[in-house]
């Protein structure tokens, strides 16, 4: 049963760069770009060659094929091994949107709601 509140979509060519948030991690740079598997206004998933623990905070830079880029914050909700391999599907839930210090920019929410200019493919419940 899919418990998501919002429909996730595939956006071919959308990329994520990420780093773990936190005092010790602030000096580390962003990862190399990875393909976003699917995305909604509340979160996204992507594949990675390592696991993150649920609850870990992540800083992300999202890059879309139409040239829009956003820096967002969120936390790991889940991770699952993909086909019993060394690859993991990671699910990220975005922090709330607003103007407070730990919130994501409202402009990113508007963009994610509309996704105009993208080759968006809706995906069915998993």
Average pLDDT, the chain: 85
CATH assignment at residue 92: 2.40.10.220
CB-based contacts of 74, cutoff 8 Å, min separation 6: 43, 57, 58, 60, 92, 93, 94, 95, 104
Reported as a single tens digit per residue, the pLDDT across 1-43 is: 345 456 778 899 999 999 988 655 555 688 999 999 999 999 9
| Percentage above 70 pLDDT, the chain | 80
17 within domain boundaries = yes
Q: What's the whole-model pTM score?
A: 0.83
Q: How far apart are CA 85 and CA 110, in angstroms?
A: 36
Question: 74 lies in which domain range?
Answer: 9-119
126 within domain boundaries = no
Residues linked to residue 80 through DSSP beta bridges, in sequence order: 89
Is pLDDT above 90 for 82?
A: no
124 within domain boundaries = no
Is pLDDT above 50 for 54?
A: yes
Number of domains in the chain: 1
Q: How far apart are CA 6 and CA 19, in angstroms?
A: 25
Q: How far apart are CA 70 and CA 57, in angstroms?
A: 17
């Amino acid at each position: 049963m899919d418990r998501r509140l919002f429909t996730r979509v595939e956006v071919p060519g959308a990329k994520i760069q990420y780093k773990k948030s936190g005092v010790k991690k602030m000096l580390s740079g962003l990862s190399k770009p990875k393909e976003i598997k699917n995305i909604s206004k509340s979160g996204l998933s992507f594949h990675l060659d390592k696991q993150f623990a649920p609850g870990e905070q992540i800083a992300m830079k999202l890059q879309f094929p139409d040239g829009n880029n956003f820096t967002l914050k969120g936390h790991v909700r889940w991770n699952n091994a993909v086909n019993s391999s060394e690859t993991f599907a990671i699910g990220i839930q975005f922090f709330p949107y607003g103007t407070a210090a730990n919130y994501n920019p409202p402009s990113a929410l508007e963009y994610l709601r509309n996704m105009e200019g993208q080759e968006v493919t809706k995906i069915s419940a998993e």
